[in-house]
Amino acid sequence: MRSGKKAAKFVKIHHFHQIPLCDKSLTLPATLLLEIHLLGGKLIQRSPAAPLLLPIITFGIYFLVWEVKTKNEMNRAGAAIPSAWWLIVPIANIWWLWQYSVGVEKFTNNGMGRQASFWLLLLLGFIGAAIVQMKFNEAISAKPELISA
């Protein structure tokens, strides 16, 4: 171990970034680095086509992934949505979806109400997710300090 501290340097290598990790460096794709920026409270604008089309290709798995990722982003922004493990518990998943919808309402500053997001996600599934994602994108655009670079 070295006694002195090294200054962290980020070097862009085409579409990969080199990031320091203890005494070694790690090379990551730029898209993964955007996900790492989320840990600092930043939010990602996603295409509404992702939650609309990817669940068809992945047999619905991406819809769950989208719910978990957006839940984590909203929680970092101040929402209080419980653990996503409730999604796999029958009946409790409806309660979880309501809590998620409350988070959507809070995150979008009432741009989409809790009832609207709840019924869209419950009845329309991934089509409703695309509509909710559009509202997320509008809310993120209104708060430029939250957008990942």
Q: What is the pLDDT of residues 25-74, one digit of tens each?
A: 545 444 444 444 434 456 688 889 999 999 999 999 999 999 999 999 99
Residue 145 is predicted with a pLDDT of: 63
Residue 17 is predicted with a pLDDT of: 46
Q: Which two tokens stand for residue 125?
A: 């599934």
Query: Where in the chain are the domains?
Result: 11-40, 49-146
pTM over 0.75: no
Mean pLDDT of the region 98-117 = 93
* Mean per-residue pLDDT over the chain, rounded: 77
Report the distance separating Cα 140 and Cα 4, nearest Å.
40
**Residue 64: which residues within 8 A CB-CB, separation 6 or more?**
84, 87
